[in-house]
A and B are shown apart, each in its own frame.
Chain A
């Protein structure tokens, strides 16, 4: 993957996530950095992107931020947000982000179909990949929350 293509894909994925969050929650997110570390938040929503270049998308955030996202999406107070609600929120974010990205990618090698998203949870989750596997990472931050997005193509 060339650096240009990587940057372009990165902008597409992160831009789609920001748009999804802003539409569904009213929260504005700015792109703050390319993440140097391979860290995740405490909750990670994952989807397999079925395409010629097989990909995985990871959207993660701290539990507190996922609660806030749910609260803004549904109008339910933060303290009433349950565990299932949180997982569901991340799954939907992944689903909608991947759906939005799908429309913006016309390169047949990267064009994908959606699959069922799932969530993993834990502290200090890290990812180790082989050297040449391209990993795209971005951190998006707003006034109230921060969300990380990673995309891996193999």
Chain B
């Protein structure tokens, strides 16, 4: 069938505003006008399945609450999933060189009883598993035997419930296994089973997954030594960004480290955080830590 262009009715501005506001309200995520096409490509199937062919009518159906699962389905569809191992490499170098040594020392001296790392947008799992592999490898290569992965709490969250189910399987195809993962890590932590690469169960079991939306309350999670909140803040409104940065501050230990991804966000952090640099990476620590 040849598609006739005159039948192409894209999302009109009013429909765009309705869904932009809906998505903002339910997730804190902003869809800028130049990305209107995301509403068309990502939500058309849900719309067609609900029996509509016009986003205005579909919106009325969505907010009617007749399908209680629909808001989460919309959020699942609209969020983009990043899928690289050790993305940018530098945060894990910082972890090995500057973050883990004092934390491990504090554990050895009994000053600390547990090291807590929050991976706040893990998508299909690569960032969480990269971090646990990095820690395990650090302990092994430095002959640290008194501390093991069980002394760490790797808390992994994502707004999308469907990607977390994927992450929990810890099984990757021959293509995704090549994206950013060195042979060193692949050979030590993965086993090939048929066409699938399966992660070492020790690493898999070290991660605690939970569906969670960053614009909700996280006071109950406790205090973390390291927080990964990478390539996420850009999707939020300015107001939400500030709110999240403040909440992260409260969830971060006084000597904790926050990784956000390679964006120039310093102005938003300047009040409360110090910017630290390693190669092209900027990461944040709390101002005036109480040592």
A pairs with B: yes
User: Could you say which of B5, B40, B178 contacts A103, with CB atoms under 8 Å apart?
Assistant: B40
- Nearest first, the 8 A-B pairs at minimum CB distance are A26-B179, A103-B37, A75-B175, A75-B174, A75-B178, A104-B37, A26-B84, A111-B5
Bound-state CA distance A29–B8 (Å) is 31
Can you name 14 extra interface pairs (CB under 8 A) apart from A26-B84, A106-B10, A111-B8? A26-B180, A74-B175, A75-B174, A75-B177, A75-B178, A103-B10, A103-B37, A103-B41, A104-B34, A104-B37, A108-B5, A111-B5, A113-B2, A113-B5
Q: Measured between C-beta atoms, what is the minimum distance from B152 to chain A in Å?
A: 27
1/0 contact trace for A62-89 toward B, CB 8 Å? 0000000000111100000000000000
Bound-state CA distance A106–B13 (Å) is 12
Main secondary structure of the interface of A (DSSP, over half): mixed
Q: Residues of A contacting B10 with CB < 8 Å?
A: 103, 106
Q: Measured between C-beta atoms, what is the minimum distance from B178 to chain A in Å?
A: 5
Q: Measured between C-beta atoms, what is the minimum distance from B254 to chain A in Å?
A: 35
Q: Confirm or deny: B69 has a beta carbon within 8 angstroms of a beta carbon on chain A.
A: no
Bound-state CA distance A74–B175 (Å) is 6
User: What are 7 residue pairs bridging A and B, where the CB atoms are less than 8 Å apart in the complex?
Assistant: A26-B84, A72-B178, A74-B175, A75-B174, A103-B41, A111-B5, A111-B8
Give the size of the chain A interface in residues (CB under 8 angstroms).
11
Q: Measured between C-beta atoms, what is the minimum distance from B9 to chain A in Å?
A: 11
Q: Residues of B contacting A104 with CB < 8 Å?
A: 34, 37
Q: Confirm or deny: B3 has a beta carbon within 8 angstroms of a beta carbon on chain A.
A: yes
Q: What is the size category of the interface that chain B forms with chain A? A: 10 to 19
Q: Confirm or deny: B237 has a beta carbon within 8 angstroms of a beta carbon on chain A.
A: no
Q: Residues of A contacting B177 with CB < 8 Å?
A: 75
Q: Confirm or deny: B137 has a beta carbon within 8 angstroms of a beta carbon on chain A.
A: no
> Which residues of B are interface residues toward A (Cβ below 8 A)?
2-3, 5, 8, 10, 34, 37, 40-41, 83-84, 173-175, 177-180
Q: Which residue of A lies closest to B34 (CB)?
A: A104
Q: Residues of B contacting A75 with CB < 8 Å?
A: 173-175, 177-178
Bound-state CA distance A108–B10 (Å) is 12
Q: Which residue of A lies closest to B84 (CB)?
A: A26
Q: Measured between C-beta atoms, what is the minimum distance from A89 to chain B in Å?
A: 14
A residues 76-122 touching B (CB-CB < 8 Å): 103-104, 106, 108, 111, 113
Q: Residues of A contacting B180 with CB < 8 Å?
A: 26
Q: Measured between C-beta atoms, what is the minimum distance from B89 to chain A in Å?
A: 11
Report whether A26 and B83 are in contact in the complex, using a CB–CB cutoff of 8 Å. yes
Bound-state CA distance A74–B2 (Å) is 30
Report whether B3 and A113 are in contact in the complex, using a CB–CB cutoff of 8 Å. yes
A residues 107-152 touching B (CB-CB < 8 Å): 108, 111, 113
Q: Residues of B contacting A73 with CB < 8 Å?
A: 175
Bound-state CA distance A75–B176 (Å) is 8
Q: Measured between C-beta atoms, what is the minimum distance from B187 to chain A in Å?
A: 16
Q: Which residue of B lies closest to A71 (CB)?
A: B178
Q: Measured between C-beta atoms, what is the minimum distance from B198 to chain A in Å?
A: 16
Q: Which residue of A lies closest to B174 (CB)?
A: A75
Q: Measured between C-beta atoms, what is the minimum distance from A21 to chain B in Å?
A: 13
A residues 17-41 touching B (CB-CB < 8 Å): 26
Q: Measured between C-beta atoms, what is the minimum distance from B96 to chain A in Å?
A: 22
Q: Which residue of A lies closest to B41 (CB)?
A: A103
Bound-state CA distance A108–B4 (Å) is 13
Bound-state CA distance A113–B7 (Å) is 12
Q: Residues of A contacting B41 with CB < 8 Å?
A: 103
